[in-house]
Structure 1
Amino acid sequence: MIEWASLSAEAKPVPRPVATPWVWAVAFGGALTLVALHTAFIGPDRPGPALVALSLLAALLGLPARFTAAPGTAVLCWLFLNGFAIPPAGTLTWAAHRDTFWLTCLCAAALLGTAMARVHHARVAYRRITTGVAGPFDTDLPAE
């Protein structure tokens, strides 16, 4: 005899991504804060630490975001990096190799954060569905 059981009653849904405007608002405020702290404590002549800090911010903002938020997050972080973390402050410049590298780093960080979150959510959802079926590498699940 076949007995139907609802999976939705037991399984928790995968978290929904945060709306893109919220991610960009936090990117705006976070980048502004990080660049201001960088300029105050390190100075505007060393953009390397600011790039690292903004890349970490982009990766953290990628965790709850959609993939479509990554380019905007990268551009917002780059605007503050280019406009205020290098002299002359308040002036946007374009040095092709440098700025292309910076934008690539920031976008890659945001995409990496989003991809890591999606893989994590997929693994958790898969484990919820297959609870009780232990594979050879699943040490935290009980064996049958």
Structure 2
Amino acid sequence: MVVWKRMSSGIRPVPSPAPTPSVWAVAATLALILVTAFNLRDGQGDPTLDLVALSLAVALVSTGARLTAAPGTAFLCWLVLNGFATAPFGQLTWEAPYDLTRFGCLLVAACVGTVTARLSNARAAYHRLRA
């Protein structure tokens, strides 16, 4: 039988996630910086490298976020990727299989980053409380 007890100390064993708007702002800013850097480095070429870099950045940013922030984070980064890394430059276009794949990749990266961080924090908290 599991008995739930409230922890009396003021210390939280698992850190609180960052506010969702802050995560979105950081993700969108980082996406703009990365896409701009890749465009300046090699011009507007194949956006695959941009997608890989954005996926890694999304996973990193999502380590401090709630899981509910993942769709918005992926969507904002997809907007930047679609608008500034793929032709025509500065216009949003929609090509269903291609864009769904890119959005799915960003969404999976956001979810993996969040879940990995949450599991890691919970495991560390378990070991701290157990000792």
What's the TM-score once normalised by structure 1's chain length?
0.82
The residue that corresponds to 2:95 in the other structure is 95
Q: CA RMSD in A?
A: 1.6
The residue that corresponds to 2:3 in the other structure is none
Alpha-carbon distance in 2 for matches of 1:99, 1:129: 45
The residue that corresponds to 2:68 in the other structure is 68
Identical positions, percent? 51
Where does the alignment leave 5 or more consecutive residues of structure 1 unmatched? 1-5, 132-144
The residue that corresponds to 2:29 in the other structure is 29
Q: How does 1:1-144 map to 2 (within 5 A)?
A: 8-9=8-9, 12-131=12-131
Q: Which has the higher helix share?
A: 2
Q: Which has the larger radius of gyration?
A: 1
Alpha-carbon distance in 1 for matches of 2:95, 2:9: 55
> Is residue 11–residue 129 contact of structure 1 (8 Å, CA) maintained in 2?
no
- 3-state DSSP of counterpart to 1:63: helix
When residues 22 and 127 of structure 1 are mapped into structure 2, their CA distance, relative to the original with a 3 A threshold, is same
Alpha-carbon distance in 1 for matches of 2:7, 2:67: 28
Equivalent residues, number: 126
What's the TM-score once normalised by structure 2's chain length?
0.90
Moved over 3 A (4+): 6-12
Q: Deviations along 1:83-107, whole A, 9 cap, x unmatched? A: 1101110011111111000000000
